[in-house]
Amino acid sequence: MNKYYSDEKNIQILIALLKAHRIKYVVASPGNTNLTLVASLQQDSYFIIYSSVDERSAAYMACGLAAETGEAVMLSCTGATASRNYMSALTEAYYRKLPVLAVTSCRSNAEIGHLIPQVIDRRVLPNDIVRLSEQLPIVKDEQDEWECNIKVNRAILELYHRNGGPVHLNIPTTYCPTFNTKELPSQRIINRLYPHDNMPNLDGKRIAILVGSHKKWNNQLTQSVEKFCESYNSVVFCDHTSAYNGRYRIQYSLIGGQEQLTHSLNRIDVLIHIGEISGDYFSTIGKFNMSEVWRISQDGELCDTFHKLRYVFEMPEDQFFRYYTHINNNVVNTQYYDSCRLMYDHLYEIAKTKATMPFSNIWIAAQMAHRLPSYSYVHFSILSSLRSWNFFEFPQNIESFCNVGGFGIDGCVSSLIGASLAHKEKLHIGIIGDLAFFYDMNVLGNRHLGNNLRILLINNNIGAEFKLYCYPGAKLEDETTPYIAAEGHFGQKSPKLVRHYAQDLGFEYLDASSKEEFEQHAVRFLSPTNNDKPILLEVFTSYQDESKALEIIRNLDSNTMGFIKKKVKDNVNYNTIQKVRNILKN
């Protein structure tokens, strides 16, 4: 009877990527949990397989074979204590930096600790036997398939990364008895490139640069990116944590957040991803239709934010952009940027003048973003405040920050104050939601506070994030109010609580409950010179108005296809949408 590859998906993905990365040597030891893997390997003439009953000997054989050929060697063993016998040889490989890939087969990790025969815990390994250890999933859906692909790619690349060394993959089996898969599934291969490698071609591609949170840019990097954009008709998509204020910046959230507007600006051949975590959900969560992603980072890590990662360039960002500009430096084309700018400016003008926009964080951002004092520093609390202000551009000389690294509610006021101590001659402005403010309010009693501090507190007496029209909490209506959205703490929008607290700690206190009251205080709050006291402006809004404002700004303009898509999304339940997507994919 003819046998082909196992019908277990994780086995297929592993073998496909072994071949894609040109790993052909295998030393296999006998067993049941690795039966489907070894049976699949042995029927493929690409692989050169050697047998060893003793796993200790198998691993040392792999060391010798890897050292002599200079190529990676894969090990395969079964469950129980089989993998323990690899440890001596993997220690040898670790200190000699030999590319040995130890693939240990097992039953499900869910069985660990339940007195089930031959199930041991391989999740934590000694520090000096492998450079990396990954636990592969049993592949049941698209998410599992992505996880398996990225983990196998990462493991194989680590065999040679920074002088290389041994790597461990633990792969569970379902003991699938069928071997009917004649062709391996097409798998995305990820390559890591270094400064002296041959670089892939960008000619004829539509390219965009996406910048997550980023350290301060120097002039050389800014100029290199600008020359790159001119040479490759590119654009730089940013949010208020990106720190890029160059010529080709586009604050993409206003465009990406539109619900009834379809356009081709998000269709990209190559998305170049730099920086770290972005707080702009309208740019990072499914808003770009790209063919592949190129990640530039000196850490060389496989950060696959968009599930489309193709290359990781382990090099300084400036070096990457200078290389490509050097080979294509006689062309100046800004058509893509010009189109994005026209779209943004069109939507921005509508947003600024939208008479129906209720009093909210978004309305305040529309009034204040362009009026911020020159050379001031702006800090946001996560989610609502950052999202609201991401819709609007700042003057180029403003620097802005948000704690999107850990992305927690805690510490935003303390970070603002810490930053204000470093540049006491410049204004530091905090845009803070009420739950985040009260979580971190004790820092206002710190004796080091300076007069260069301004805090805009948006107080709606609830975690409005969980009540917004487009988020899951809105479907639960009032059920989210007491515990999920935590309404009613911290004085329930008391007009006195923050006033007395702030004044007793030496702040000048201002408050507003309407657009008119806000405008009365805005000039004072935005005064470019240091006051004799820090200022706290408390603004009282409602979550209903915050939700309505978000809905308005995400529906500033429409076209026929966008209108239809929104109507379908609004009127079809989640499960039906997922079923349709799966049908279309298949």
- 523 token code pair: 């000039």
Lowest mean pLDDT segment, chosen from 108-117, 126-135, 229-238, 527-536: 108-117
- How far is residue 434's CA from residue 455's CA, in Å, rounded to a whole number? 11
Task: Annotate 529-555 with b (16+ C-beta within 10 A) or e (fewer).
Answer: ebbebbbbbbbbbbbebbbbbbebbbb
Residue 584: pLDDT above 70? no
pLDDT at 569: 59
φ/ψ of 76, rounded to 5, equals -135, 125
pLDDT in tens, 263-315: 999 999 999 999 999 988 887 766 789 999 999 999 999 999 999 999 999 99
- CATH superfamily, domain at 9-182: Thiamin diphosphate (ThDP)-binding fold, Pyr/PP domains (3.40.50.970)
Q: Dump the DSSP string for 365-405.
A: HHHHGGGPPTT-EEEE-TTHHHHHHHTSPPPTT-EEEE-TT
Share of the chain above pLDDT 70, in %: 95
- Would you place residue 71 in the very low, low, confident or very high pLDDT band (cuts 50, 70, 90)? very high
| Closest of 106, 90, 107 to residue 168, by C-alpha | 90
pLDDT tens for 492-513 read 999 999 999 999 999 999 999 9
pTM over cut 0.85: yes
Q: What proportion of the chain, given as a percentage, has pLDDT over 90?
A: 78
Q: Over the stretch 413-441, which tens digit does the pLDDT of each residue have?
A: 999 999 999 999 999 999 999 999 999 99
**DSSP-derived secondary structure for 556-568:** S---HHHHHHHHH
Letter string b/e over residues 238-256, b meaning 16 or more CB atoms within 10 A of that residue's CB: bbbbbbbbbebbbbbbbbb
Residue 225 · residue 344 · CB < 8 Å: no
| CA atoms of 311 and 484, how far apart (whole Å) | 40
Residue holding tokens 């698209």? Answer: 142
Q: Which residue reads 């003819």 in tokens? A: 2
State the burial class of residue 382 (Cβ atoms within 10 Å of its Cβ: 0-12, 13-18, 19+): buried
User: Cα–Cα distances in Å, from 346 out to 144, 232, 351, 466, 473?
Assistant: 41, 25, 9, 30, 32
Domain boundary assignment for the chain:
9-182, 207-343, 355-552, 558-585
**Residue 49, pLDDT above cutoff 50:** yes
pLDDT digits (tens, 9 = 90+) for 453-507: 999 999 999 888 888 888 888 788 888 888 888 888 888 999 999 999 999 999 9
According to the model, what pLDDT value does residue 1 have? 46
Average pLDDT score over the chain: 92
Average pLDDT over residues 237-253: 94
Nearest to 28 by CA among 20, 36, 38, 39: 38
Place of tokens 């973003």: 369
For position 119, what pLDDT does the model report? 84
pLDDT category of residue 568 using cuts at 50, 70 and 90: low
140-159 tens-digit pLDDT:
999 999 999 999 999 999 99
Instruction: Please compute the mean of the pLDDT values over residues 80-97 and round it to a whole number.
Output: 95
Q: Do 239 and 365 meet the contact criterion of CB atoms below 8 Å apart?
A: no
Domain 355-552 bears CATH identifier 3.40.50.970: yes
What does the pLDDT average to over 72-77?
Answer: 98
Give residues with Cβ within 8 angstroms of 16, minimum separation 6: 184, 185, 186, 187
Cα→Cα distances 187→15, 137, 152, 560, Å: 10, 16, 11, 36
Same fold: 9-182 with 207-343: yes
Q: For residue 26, which phi and psi values (nearest 5 degrees)?
A: -135, 135
CATH label, 207-343, candidates 3.30.70.360, 3.40.630.30, 3.40.50.1220, 3.90.180.10: 3.40.50.1220
27-51 average pLDDT score: 97
